[in-house]
A and B are shown apart, each in its own frame.
Chain A
Amino acid sequence: MVALESTDTQAGVAGMTIDVQAVSHSFDLHGAPLPVLDGVELRVEPGELVALLGPSGCGKSTLLRLVAGLEPPSRGSILADGRPIDGPDPSRVVVFQDPTLYPWRTVRDNVALGLEARGLLRSQGHRIDKALALVGLTGFERAYPHQLSGGMAQRAALARALVNDPRLLILDEPLGKLDSLTRLAMQSELVDLWRSSGFTGLLVTHDIEEALFMATRVIVFSGRPARIKADLPIDRPYPRHRGDPVLTELRHRILELLGLAETW
């Protein structure tokens, strides 16, 4: 794998600082408010890869939507490099659990989406091939999404995000629907990408092992409404080993925090 050339971006790809300040959020459910986030405080430094762990449906994905700028928080504020987030921006790109490729576009045209939307297709079109090479999809440019396997579709979605040279990559269970072998392979690939590109990463996952294998920090959330229960730095060098006893110890602690210690 090769890194995207950083010369044609503003000041290289410097990771973004994210400051989540006292954010609470609730949905309107049949007229009654349903609180999903409760006073979340979180600061992510440039170049960190932070994993968000928590029970299913606790509101982790909602936090990602707020950081992406797809919705404004009910209370509190989120700062990106010190400026409040007031909407989506191509510097903060999301990869969802479903690849959500546009079925009417070829792989290449799907990857081109961000450049096309910003009118950069002509001047920056060469970046598409690099992004495809980066995720190992060279040769599949003209395939349609229904012709791709799950792993290839998710790689295409990743290329669609990376072609914009994001300073924050928001990963919402990106490997959740893949088979376990593909998932293990793509965990390593994502770590390599992140280490060579220097963006800040926010990763929601259900998989403790995945969080420990990939992240610099793991944030453990409570059930809904989500509060931060623990903030665990994972101070282990890359590339990591899944059998690392320090990670095993951390895994035990996280299970404890999630109330699942007896299954260990």
Chain B
Amino acid sequence: MSVNDTAAALPAANGGALPIGGGLPSNLLLRFSAAALLWFAASGVTALWPDAADAQEWERTGEFASLLVVAAGLLVLAALLAAAIRPAPRSRLEAAIASLSASVPWLIALALGVTGWEILTAKLNLLPRPFFVPPQALLEVYLDDWPRLLDCFAASLRLLITGYAVGSILGVVTGVAIGWSRAVGYWVHPVLRLIGPLPATAWLPIAFFAFPTSWSASVFLIALASGVPVTVLTWSGVAGVNSAYYDIARTLGASPRFLVLKVAVPAAMPHVFVGLFMGLGASFAVLVVAEMLGVKSGVGWYLQWAQGWAAYGNMYAALLVMALLCSGLVTLLFRVRDRLLAWQKGMLKW
């Protein structure tokens, strides 16, 4: 078996990349059909198996089953297209089909998972209610309550971005100032040491009392949570800059301003991004707590509200939205870093 054959047999193992010179795997049709079949099966279980008699009948079951059929249909379509068109080697279409083919194990697992979930909840009613709901309950939330969810999503995003932007900008400025100026370091360092390790949520009671609105209080808390790691990492980055970089710039006629903006800051950037990632994680935690305890909108508030009504379907729906929000922002930050730090070797790909 040649190297190419091995690579073709294990498309998932090489992360969807094409086996060099190999084209698409030969059993493409089989792979896609297996996945499609399981999605059809999930749809059939959902639509044809009656809901458990000892519980409520779930709404939107038909819509959910249709959605599953659509997913299965798309897979069939992809398989037929791939077989019929025979995309040119190394074309974009071929790359797309290859990456879909690499996802087949996941698609199969998802179909099995959804079927199992459907059977355990709606069909057999084996899991305690109301804590566990079938997947169509989430669909019901998205179809019926989407205006409110969208509102909450937007509110969370606005609050998070505002707080995180304020915290990151102040963090970078403070970090550079501490790293650059002995006087600033003398005064700020002890404060940072005392306050930095304190979780931002500890300020919650005083923040909601001291700020005019719970929104501004939350911005403060998120800024604090994200600003501290950004400050510390920026500072350590600036302090660790190779002093020869400054010597070079000075002999070439650089002003102090140039030394800060064109030498210290870019040299510290890899550290700054570590701080930005830590700060983003911390800001998620503070966002949810602030929205659960004070702010009257946002996904955190929605979670709390849904729990109050024992509307667990809404809660799962909101959790999923929250996960997409957080993951999306982390991905975005990775993209920004990859662009700005393209000069670095061996970066982690997200």
Contacts and interface: CB of A to CB of B under 8 A. Distances in A.
A and B held together in a complex: yes
Contact of A68 (B251, B267, B343): B251
Contacts of B345: 146
A-B pairs with lowest CB-CB distance, top 4:
A114-B252, A117-B254, A90-B253, A88-B250
Among the interface residues B249, B251, B255, which one has the most CB atoms of the partner chain A within 10 A? Answer: B251
A110 to B, nearest CB: 9
A102 B251 contact: no
Contacts of B202: none
Interface of A is mostly: loop
B248 A100 contact: yes
Interface string B227-270: 00000000000000010110111111111001000110011010
21 contacts: A68-B247, A93-B252, A96-B244, A100-B244, A100-B248, A103-B343, A103-B344, A104-B266, A105-B266, A105-B343, A113-B252, A116-B258, A117-B252, A117-B262, A118-B253, A144-B343, A146-B343, A160-B248, A160-B252, A164-B252, A164-B253
Contacts of A96: 244, 247-248
A140 to B, nearest CB: 15
Interface string A74-115: 000000000000001110111010101011110000000110
A96 B254 CA distance: 17
A105 B344 CA distance: 11
Nearest to B342: A144
B248 A113 contact: yes
Given A100-B244, A104-B267, A113 B249 contact: yes
Given A102-B267, A146-B343, A94 B248 contact: yes
B267 A70 contact: no
Among the interface residues A70, A104, A113, A116, which one has the most CB atoms of the partner chain B within 10 A? Answer: A104
Interface in A36-88: 68-70, 88
B247 to A, nearest CB: 6
Given A98-B244, A103-B343, A90 B251 contact: yes
Nearest to B248: A100
Interface string A122-136: 000000000000000
Nearest to B340: A104
B185 to A, nearest CB: 21
A88 B253 contact: yes
B343 A94 contact: no
A70 B249 CA distance: 11
A96 B249 CA distance: 12
Contact of A69 (B251, B254, B262, B267): B251
Nearest to B251: A88
A93 B251 contact: yes
B282 to A, nearest CB: 27
Give the size range of A's interface with the partner: 20 to 34
Contact of A116 (B245, B248, B262, B343): B262
Contacts of A113: 248-249, 252, 254
B244 A102 contact: no
Nearest to A102: B245
Nearest to A146: B345
A70 B252 contact: no
Contact of B343 (A70, A104, A164): A104
Nearest to B259: A117
B247 A94 contact: yes
B240 to A, nearest CB: 13
Contacts of A105: 266, 343
A80 B53 CA distance: 99
B254 A70 contact: no
Nearest to A68: B251
B253 A70 contact: no
A208 to B, nearest CB: 26
A113 to B, nearest CB: 6
Contacts of B248: 94, 96, 100, 113, 160
Among the interface residues B242, B263, B343, which one has the most CB atoms of the partner chain A within 10 A? Answer: B343
Contacts of B242: 100
Given A100-B244, A104-B343, A70 B266 contact: no
Contact of B253 (A100, A103, A117, A160): A117
Contacts of A117: 249, 252-255, 258, 262
Interface in A160-219: 160, 164
Among the interface residues B253, B263, B269, which one has the most CB atoms of the partner chain A within 10 A? Answer: B253
B253 A114 contact: yes
A60 to B, nearest CB: 16
A100 B248 CA distance: 8
Contacts of B267: 102, 104
B86 to A, nearest CB: 38
Contacts of A114: 252-253
Contacts of B263: 102
A103 B267 CA distance: 8
Nearest to A114: B252
Given A94-B247, A98-B244, A104 B269 contact: yes
